[in-house]
Chains A and B, each alone.
Chain A
Amino acid sequence: AQKVTQTQTSISVVEKTTVTMDCVYETRDSSYFLFWYKQTASGEIVFLIRQDSYKKENATVGHYSLNFQKPKSSIGLIITATQIEDSAVYFCAMREGNYAQGLTFGLGTRVSVFP
């Protein structure tokens, strides 16, 4: 069963507007960590932002912010004032339990930003 699900395959937005993408996850752990990564057209994968499950405040970094809804097991990514360079594939990921174990990734959402 998919532990991290991104239901939106692709989203198109106009530059300077806001884009929101969804991610739901499954875990039995009381403590877990949620991440968002960006994969550019060149294939590079970079870390964007993280939410710790025990924190109630939504994380914000630059023009990226999260909408963490713990009762719904949901962690949405919001990008405000989008730029052409935000065109990429965005991956949601989760780490639970054993710290040495790897992240579990969703399938990604492709965002296209148009002028």
Chain B
Amino acid sequence: EAAVTQSPRNKVAVTGGKVTLSCNQTNNHNNMYWYRQDTGHGLRLIHYSYGAGSTEKGDIPDGYKASRPSQENFSLILELATPSQTSVYFCASGENRGNSDYTFGSGTRLLVI
């Protein structure tokens, strides 16, 4: 069954540390996305990719990097984690057409202390 799998499900990180959130999809979708979800802000786009080797900035990219080494994998990297990055992060995949819906992962809950 095609799916989007995120790891880890939960993460506690220290301020200033490096955090990597991973996402793997078996949908063979070209496009992948990273969102964060916060109360009062909904889902906000951080980075996206339209294929292996590509990454693009979304609406709130500051403090985040992304990496797409293959069609299946898309990582979100926090080089210097801050408490303001405490959030729930969702990865999604979709086809490269306007009417394509997303398949979401189950989310990663990140706490930066």
| Chain A interface residues toward B at CB < 8 A | 31-33, 35, 37, 43-47, 50, 52, 91, 95, 99-108
Contacts and interface: CB of A to CB of B under 8 A. Distances in A.
Most buried by A among B58, B92, B104: B104
Q: Interface size for chain B: under 10, 10 to 19, 20 to 34, or 35 or more residues?
A: 20 to 34
Interface of B: 30-31, 33, 35, 40-45, 48, 50, 56, 58, 88, 90, 92, 96-104, 106-107
Given A44-B106, A100-B31, A105 B42 contact: yes
Contacts, number: 57
Given A44-B106, A46-B104, A50-B101, A100 B40 contact: no
A44 B106 CA distance: 6
A30 to B, nearest CB: 12
A32 B98 CA distance: 7
